[in-house]
Structure formats: C-alpha cells, structure tokens
Chains A and B, each alone.
Chain A
Amino acid sequence: MNRREFLALGAGLTAGCTRNARLITGSFVGASHDIGHMLRSGSIPAPTMERRVPVVIVGGGVAGLSAGWHLARNGFQDFEILELEEEAGGNSRSGENRISAYPWGAHYVPPPTKDSRYVRELFEELGVITGYANGEPVYKDEYLCFDPQERLYIHGRWQDGLIPSIGATDQDREDLDRFEEIIAGYKARHAFTIPMELSRQDKDLLELDSVSIRDSLDARGLRSPALHWYVNYACRDDFGCTSGDVSAWAAIHYFSSRDTNQNAVLTWPEGNGWIVKRLRERLRNSIRPAALVFRVTQDRVDYYDIHEKTSTTIHADRIIFACPAFLARFLVENAPATDAFEYAPWLVANLTLEAFPMQRAGVPMAWDNVIHDSDALGYVVATHQSLRVHQPQTVFTFYYPLAGSSPKSERARLLNTDWKAWTDFILDDLSKPHPEIRELVSNIDIMRWGHAMVRPRPGFMWSEARRRFTKPFGRIHFAHSDLSGVSLFEEAQYRGVTAAQWVLDR
C-alpha cells in the first residue's frame, strides 16, 4: 500500500464510520455591514476637529493605493489615504492561517501589456519583472503560475485547460476555431487595449457595446454549447454576470486585449494581496485606516474615526475619490448620476483542508480548478505557488458570483443566507469532484462582497454615464476600475495613476 492508497483508505474509513462527523468551524469575515448602515441612517456625529491636507485620497483599494504610489514616486508626499477598513487593499485583500496565505478577492494579474506601462513600472519596482529580453518583460519564475495552471471537471473527469474538450463535437471544435479566428482578427487590429480607454473607437467596434456577447455569438452563427459555456464562464469569472448580461465589447475586450497568446498569469499564495501588501508598506505613513468618509465637497472631506468615535473635517485642495462609483451618490456633493453603475454580488470562501482530496479520474490538481456543471467557479489552491515538495494541508479559495437574477435580489440572497447554509452550498458544490470534501475541511470563512465589481452590461462601456466619471469633477477626480467598466487590476491602477497625474499637473 503506498501513501496515496493509505490516505485514500483513511479517508474511506472516516467516511464510512463518521459521515459529517468533522466539525467545521468558521464565520463570515470582512466588511461590517453595520458601518455601512450607519452611513445611510445618518447617525454619524458632526465633525469636531479640522485639519488641512493638500491632497486627500478617499479609499485605499488598488486605485487609491496606486494614486498614492504615483504621487510618492514623483516626490509628492502631502497626501493622506482614508480607508474604511482596518487594512487597505480593497478587493485585493488577503488572509493567512497556519497553512498558507490566501486571497479574499482578486488573485492574479496577467502579464501587463505594453500599454499598461504603469503596471510594468510597478512590477519592475517590486521585482516581478527582472529585466527585458527582446523588448519583452522577463518575469521572476516564482511569481508566474506554476504548471499545471487550469483544469476543468466535466463528465466526471478532470481535463487540462478550461475550454471543454471532453465530449466536444465537431460542431464545437469548428465554432471554437472560428471564435479564435475572430479574436485573432481583433488582436491584429490592436482594437482592444488595456487600459480600455486607449482602445480604438471605430464604429464597428463601438457597435459591439450595444449587444450582449451571447446575442453577438448567436448573430455570428456560433451556437456551439461548448463555446457558449466557455464564454459564459469567462463572463462570470471576470464580470460576475452571465454572457446574456455582458456587453459584447467588454467580453471581446477580455479575449483580445492581451499582447501574447500565452495563458500565463502572475500570482501569489495571497493573490493580489501580495501587491497591495507592498504598496501599503510603501505608503504606511500616509494611510489612515478605520476612517469612514461620510461627506465630500469640492474642498473638504468629512470622516468618522471608527475607533475614536469622533468626526474630523479635512480641508483639501484636491480630492481623489477612489471608491466604487456608486458611493459618489451618497458621499459626494452634487455628484453626477450613478444609476448606470450596476454591481455584481460575490461570495468568496476560504476553506482549510487538512488533507488534499484524492486524485481521481483525469489530470492532477491545478492552480485553478473549475467545475463545469456549477454556478460557482470552482476553487483556486493557495499552496500551489509553494516551493515545498511535501504539502500535506492546503487552503482552497472558492469563488461564486451571484449572477442568477437581478443584482438586487441576488445581493439580498447573499446577505440573508446564513453561514451554515452557505457552507452546505459550498461543500455540496465541491463534493461533485471531491465526494470526501466534508471529511477534509476543518474551517470555512466566508466574505460577502455586496458590490464586488461593476457589471459591464450592454451599452455601459461607451455610455456618457461612464465617461463622465473619467473626467475631473471640479477639484475632485474619480479613480476606480468602475470607471473602466471592468474590474481589472490594471484598470484600477490606471485610474489611480491618472488621477494622481492630474494632481501633479497642477
């Protein structure tokens, strides 16, 4: 009996004798919904103190931190970042337990395109890019996702890669090839860029924004179920909504905006938490955590210190509002309309596993493990980037965009379902490929993101409603990936840096 059989036997015994016997601990973690409620109910005390800070950055997510990073890099230090949470990082926050660090949201960055020059600059500074060969960046091997990267559980087996190949018909293969050709055509035109704002605005391209990607595929006669599954998966993964709710422009942008054909991604055990950790270190003297901003005007920012329970007014010359755009309606005086911004709710769970699931049919465990017949997106293995050869325990990060019905009702479902019920949902889903999952998991922590990411629905990408937010609003500049219509690290950083540059230019 080798070790694997031994473990399998052990798992089988446990399953046989004590089904459901393992006590699973855990809780909801993260954003306190009480604080948000405080904001809406207007129970915050009036400011009793005041200060003057030349530049205030509201929000310490990737956009806000990047604005601070760009200011500091250019020798400008007179700014303060106000962050609601105890720790800055936004969607890129991460956690850590006795086994591994793990992400709570964003968990990878694709190799930055030539247009993403600030991402390249940041990655050079952080040692992610070690140099250039033939003009192309050379990445530190340890930060590129280790092989094997992705697998898909379909028809009871794990296959390599995410494009369904097991059970694919000739029609599927033909349509997938045609789709690839279409994407190659856009790539050749350099039609779609990251940052998206620099994309070509030819008429035929902008027209893509008026239909959903699902309808767009149908209109091109691409009806393969495998292709539709794959595109829908990509939409749920990147935008938190189904392909019927995603602008064809946004979806095709996702497939055609990368320079290379390589599927490589940069990742770390804690996901993009690795990046924000380093940005936080660089900006530690400029970040004020637990600061609930409740009013922003052209020259002042009022915030409530959650620990001190006092409110302060900051008089500022310039303000970078690096929060999700919908908050402008509640916080920014006379803000432009935010109705066009819709948000997808997400559930992210981190599961502590005392042993790896048994290796069953198909290819071995990858970094990203997707289940074909599921509304969730499967799981990412936090210890995948570990250099250890012997890794007995691990952490799975489970991602679930609630894309079923309207964002509002899905958000209500997200918040009204209790921890036990979510835990059962997660374990039921994971037990499809891993029937013994309940015997392996010892803890499940769950983060509920009510407004996880902006929904790039048809018509939104090139709407005036979106574009208005990309321009300065008096002495306020908005900065968030929302302004790009897609929730990407590069877009958030671009919006932050653009706002910071606007400060520097004056």
Chain B
Amino acid sequence: MVYVLLISVFVIASCGLVYELIAGTLASYLLGDSVMYFSTIIGTYLFAMGIGSYLSRFIGRGLVARFIQVELIVGVIGGSSAGMLFIVFAYIESFRLILYAQVIAVGVLVGLEIPLLLRILKDKLEFKDLVSQVLTFDYLGALAVSLLFPLILAPRLGLVRTCFLFGILNVLVAAWATSLFRDQIARLSSLRVQSAAALIFLLAGFAYGERLTTFAEESLYTDEVVFATTTPYQRIVITRWKDDVRLFLNSHLQFSSRDEYRYHEVLVHPGMQWLKSPKRVLILGGGDGLALREVLKYDSVESVTMVDLDPEMTRLFSSNELLRQLNGGSLRSPKLKVINADAFVWLGESTDTFDFAVVDFPDPTNYALGKLYTTTFYNLLAHRLNEHGAAAIQSTSPLYARKSYWCIVSTVESAGFHATPYHAYVPSFGEWGYVLATKLPYSVPTVAMKDLKFVSTILLPGLFQFPADMSRVDTEVNHLNNQVLVRYYESEWHDVSQ
C-alpha cells in the first residue's frame, strides 16, 4: 500500500507541474512577453502552494476523504484549465484576472496534496523514510513531466489535451485512493459518484479538446483549422478539408491546394519562358514556396532571392510535412536565399540585378499594401532588373475589380515598362489577373514548358485575350500621394460582396 501511495505522489507531482507549465505557456502564447508571464505564474503558483500547505493544518478529521476530494477538484479545475483559458481568452475581457485566479486555485489545491498525503502515510513509515521517499517521488514526477511536456506532450497532444490528460490522472488517483481506503471512508458512494462524474467530464474534454483551440476561429473558416499562429506581422491560418489545403493570411485566402498550380504556373511561366535563359530570379512575397517551385523548373536558374517579411512563413513552409509536399520542398533548394525584410525598403537598398522577378503581394486592401503597387515601387523594381529583364505581378481580378486591375497596368506603364496584361481562371479565386512588366516589348512564347498541369503551348495565347467584360478601362495612375488603387479596390470588392 505504501508503494501505491508513493506512485500517487509521483502522479500528483507531475500533474502539479503540468498545470503550472501549461498556464505559463498559454499565457505567453496568448499574451506574448513570455519571461514576464512565466516568471509571475511560477511565482504565484509556488506562493499558492504555500498557502495550501498552510491550510492543510485546518483539516482534521476525514483526512482521506478530504484528500480524495482535493484530488477530484484539482483534476477538474487543473485538467480543464487550458481549455477554459482558451475559451476565456476569446470571450472575456479580464483574461489575466481569470488566469491568475486559476493559477492560485490550482496552486492552493496542489499545495494541500503532499501535506495531506504525508499525514495519511505517517503511521505506515518512519518519519525519516517518509519524508525522504515522498519528496523523492515528488521530484521524480516533476522531472518526468519537465521532460515529457516540451518533447512529447505539448507538440503531440497540444496544451488543451495534455491538460485534460493530467486531470484524468488526478481523478484516477482519487478513484484509486477511494478503493484503497474504502473501509475508512464514511460516505463512500458519494465520493464514487463524484469521481465518476469528474472522470466523464475530463474524458469528454480530452476527446474534444483539440477542437477547443480553434473553437473561436472555426466559425470564420468553412474547413477545419489545422494550424494557426499569430506572428508579429500577420495571422497565419491553414485549413484542410480532405485533400484541399488552404492558406489564409489575416483571413484572406492565399491559395487552395486544389488549384494553386493554375495560379502559380500562370504567374511564372509566361514570363520565364519568354526570357532566353533566366539565371537570377527575385521573388517578392511568395513565402509559401509555390511560385518558387515553378521557377526551379528552369534548369538555367542559378540563384533565387526571396524577400518575404515574415520568417514564420518560410519556416513553416520549409519544415511542415504537409506544406512541403505542396511546394515540393522548394524552400530547401540550395539555390535559394531567403531575406526576411520589408520588400519596399529592401528594393531601395539592394544593388543586385535580376533577369526575372515574381511580385506576389497580397491585394491592395489598405494604404500600407497599396504602397507596393505605386509608381515609386515599380521604378525601384525597374532598377533591379537587367536591361532584358521581366517581372510578373499578381494584379487582383480584372473581372471583379476591373478598374483596380487596369490601374495596376497603367501604373506599371507609367514607370517606363512595357506592360502586358494577361489572366487565367483559378476556381478558388475566380478570374484572376497578372501584369508582365518588361523592359523590351514582350511577345507570347510559341512553346510552353512540357508537362505542366495548366499552362501549355495551346493555352498560352488565350491568356492574353481579354473579353469585353474585362477589357481595358481608363484609370488614374497609382502614386504614393494619391493611392487611387486602394479606393478603386475598396469600392469594387465592396460591390462584389454586396
């Protein structure tokens, strides 16, 4: 019986540390400033444990029953803490108040556990053995969790489910103790019912826990969110439904794996195919590595420079299995150099020149992004291209945002480029537009690269034909001091969404 109880110490200690680690991790994940939250949460937690130890002296009779109840409450409160904090974070304003209140509650309860156990065991062991063994198992439990948590539990199970798992362990300890001391407990059946209820609650939490993390966001996306993170630059969300993987940046769809090849083949090949043997390529934006995948299909390419603001994008798309399958591991190419910088600023400071540039920015939905579609930007771009160079620019939809599209064409022209407009149908986006900015007049390649999924020799000329409903309209040129494009874009997409 002594060993059984010592194993309980081990489990209890692991549970106690897990709740502490989870509170700290969750706070730094949700609130940032990890040093501050980790440190204050550990401090608060230890202090609360002290309070618990102090309070243990007021528990006199029915020691075992009290211990079991403490276990049950720790299991329920601690086990559901991560899930509850996730929900609370999204819906309640005084999040930190609740965070610390919860840390204190769990801390006090965990602080009660060991003193109570010591007292339960005091008649079964000699004092020196008792202290030595209980504390040994206490610290062993802590060690086990401190290793398991970062290496296996947090990455595999996630915070919410890990938390529920350890809540279940607490409740199991309670159930075990209930049967162990059944002849010493007055209201046995009541405790059994309580244990069962706590267990069912936690098991349910464990089963559906995964959903909780994305619960708040799920309603925004039709598909299941498989990854979501907030970087200093944007909110990255990846969803999946069967084989359709979608990337959203700040809730704007960037691609769907079902048809992204259409978008990226059309973005890259009409320009690359026209150049004799493009060697040096620049990709602005495009941290998903999908345009890069197309660029690397040309053997003549010697080096690719990718400028993407957010290091998390390139990290994610070069390390995540699922995403690496999409870009064919392009981000691991030895020809690639990734620069995490603001594209406009980098363009002004760089002295490199390129044969081909892919300009794949988000649509001009605000004045900050609108800067990337101005004469000043295209002038700088011109300086980075060789005398025969070309740039392919994603340019929103010529059908839904006709004026916006032709405004980009006019702006590219006013920067001294030959601007060649073209378009393709990408089902998840709709009819989509591009502009080829070239220093020499462009002519449609007579042959396309073989074995592409969408672009072909026969298809190529059609990309450059504009039907009447999206043919050229007169627009102003987009300048930094007169961002007409953002105004066009706003009114046109507003009309579409009506």
Contacts and interface: CB of A to CB of B under 8 A. Distances in A.
A412 interface: no
B235 A144 contact: no
A161 to B, nearest CB: 14
Interface residues of A, number: 27
B343 A389 contact: yes
Contact of A147 (B95, B367, B376): B367
Interface stretch (B56-64, B128-136, B480-488): B480-488
Contacts of B251: 2
B468 interface: no
A387 B368 contact: no
B483 A147 contact: yes
A188 interface: no
A3 B345 contact: no
A142 B480 contact: yes
Nearest to B379: A141
Given A1-B216, A2-B235, A387-B342, A141 B375 contact: yes
Given A12-B93, A141-B374, A147 B482 contact: yes
A264 interface: yes
B35 interface: no
Contacts of A141: 374-376, 479-481
A167 interface: no
B93 A16 contact: yes
A34 to B, nearest CB: 41
A1 B217 contact: yes
Interface string B214-250: 0011001000000000101111000000000000001
Interface in B42-73: none
Nearest to A264: B481
Interface string A372-390: 0000000000000001111
Contacts of B372: 389
A391 to B, nearest CB: 7
A392 B96 contact: no
Interface string B12-32: 000000000000000000011
Contact of A389 (B90, B97, B220, B342): B342
Interface string B374-416: 1110000000000000000000000000000000000000000
Most buried by B among A2, A3, A148, A389: A389
A144 B375 CA distance: 13
A141 B411 CA distance: 13
A3 B483 contact: no
A17 B480 contact: no
Interface in A448-471: none
A146 B96 contact: no
B375 A387 contact: no
B371 interface: yes
B344 A388 contact: yes
Interface in A17-36: 17
A10 interface: yes
A93 to B, nearest CB: 25
A145 interface: yes
Interface centre among A142, A144, A147, A364 (most CB of B within 10 A): A147
A144 B216 CA distance: 43
A3 B365 CA distance: 15
B366 interface: yes
Given A1-B235, A147-B480, A387 B344 contact: yes
Contacts, number: 86
B91 to A, nearest CB: 10
Contact of B481 (A2, A6, A147, A392): A147
Nearest to A13: B95
B427 interface: no
B94 A13 contact: yes
Interface in B79-128: 89-90, 93-97
Nearest to B348: A387
B235 A3 contact: yes
Nearest to A388: B342
Contact of A13 (B93, B250, B482): B93
Given A1-B216, A364-B367, A391-B368, A6 B93 contact: no
A392 B220 CA distance: 25
Contacts of B234: 3
A140 B49 CA distance: 65
Contact of A3 (B97, B250, B309, B375): B250
Interface string B340-367: 0011110010000000000000000011
B369 interface: yes
Contacts of B374: 141
Given A144-B481, A387-B342, A17 B367 contact: no
A147 B196 CA distance: 64
B90 A144 contact: no
Contacts of A144: 479-481
B60 to A, nearest CB: 39
Nearest to B89: A9
Nearest to B94: A16
A147 B364 CA distance: 13
22 contacts: A2-B235, A3-B235, A4-B250, A9-B90, A13-B93, A16-B94, A17-B96, A141-B375, A141-B376, A141-B481, A142-B376, A145-B481, A146-B367, A147-B370, A147-B481, A148-B367, A149-B481, A387-B344, A389-B342, A389-B368, A389-B369, A389-B372
Given A1-B217, A141-B480, 8 more contacts: A1-B216, A2-B251, A10-B31, A141-B374, A148-B483, A387-B344, A387-B376, A391-B368
Q: Which 10 A-B pairs have the closest CB atoms?
A: A144-B481, A147-B483, A387-B344, A16-B93, A141-B376, A388-B342, A146-B480, A3-B235, A2-B251, A2-B250
Interface of A: 1-4, 6, 9-10, 12-13, 16-17, 141-142, 144-149, 264, 364, 387-392
